[in-house]
Chains A and B, each alone.
Chain A
Amino acid sequence: SAVISQKPSRDICQRGTSLTIQCQVDSQVTMMFWYRQQPGQSLTLIATANQGSEATYESGFVIDKFPISRPNLTFSTLTVSNMSPEDSSIYLCSVEDPSRVGGETQYFGPGTRLLVL
């Protein structure tokens, strides 16, 4: 199956700054997604990263706060802008791997643990 890596694995940031998280896949995938997991909570989909076009955001998430890039079929970035302590979360990217049976199945990266002070 696809191997997914994320950078950075963790970071501590000051409020008001921005952080860009990278997601790299070792094979071409059609669908890439970004999720947020707030402390002690479940995962919530932020957006679908579309290759060559603007990301599709879920209700409650906006492009100005979470700009996303998807320049090709193996790479995506998520930026958390103008951070506040409420943005402290684990941010995970996931991909659908069409080479696997159950092609809608999503596989997750290791996550980026963000703490905003």
Chain B
Amino acid sequence: GEDVEQSLFLSVREGDSSVINCTYTDSSSTYLYWYKQEPGAGLQLLTYIFSNMDMKQDQRLTVLLNKKDKHLSLRIADTQTGDSAIYFCAESHGSSNTGKLIFGQGTTLQVKP
């Protein structure tokens, strides 16, 4: 079935790198996404990766995709206190439900000064 799993909590010190991990089950996913939700706010798209890629870098963000293991990670370099938020990974469902995203439970990132 459809399932996306994330660890629930990560704590890092300001300036360190953060790595948030995600596993998924739908091998037919076209895109995989990372969204950020700050307290009291909606979801902000951070980045996405197409399923035929294995890495994508965007400024401080690096996304790694291991399609064989169905593992996705988000690395945030030089983590800042403003990065404290909940991070959701999501996969686009296979062909039968256009537009359906399956979300993980979210990883709360706490950045300590």
Contacts and interface: CB of A to CB of B under 8 A. Distances in A.
Interface of A: 31, 33, 41-45, 48, 58, 92, 94, 96, 102, 104-111, 113
Contacts of A48: 98-100
A33 B99 contact: yes
Given A42-B106, A43-B88, A104-B31, A92 B101 contact: no
A31 B98 CA distance: 9
A58 B97 CA distance: 10
Q: Give the bracket for the number of chain B residues in contact with chain A.
A: 20 to 34
A21 to B, nearest CB: 13
Nearest to B105: A42
A110 B42 contact: yes
A105 B31 contact: yes
Interface SS, A side = strand
Interface stretch (B43-51, B57-65, B66-74): B43-51
A111 B38 CA distance: 12
B41 A106 contact: no
Contacts, number: 53
Interface of B: 30-31, 33, 35, 40-45, 48, 50, 88, 90, 92, 98-101, 103-106
Contacts of A94: 43
Counting from the closest, the 9 A-B pairs by CB-CB distance are A108-B43, A110-B42, A111-B42, A42-B103, A43-B103, A108-B42, A31-B99, A42-B105, A102-B48
B75 to A, nearest CB: 20
B48 A45 contact: no
A43 B99 contact: no
Contact of A42 (B41, B50, B88): B88
Nearest to B106: A42
Contacts of B98: 31, 48
A44 B103 CA distance: 7
Given A31-B98, A31-B99, A110 B41 contact: yes
Contact of A105 (B41, B45, B104): B45
19 contacts: A31-B99, A41-B105, A42-B103, A42-B104, A43-B43, A43-B90, A92-B43, A94-B43, A102-B31, A102-B48, A104-B92, A104-B99, A106-B33, A106-B99, A108-B43, A108-B44, A108-B45, A110-B41, A111-B43
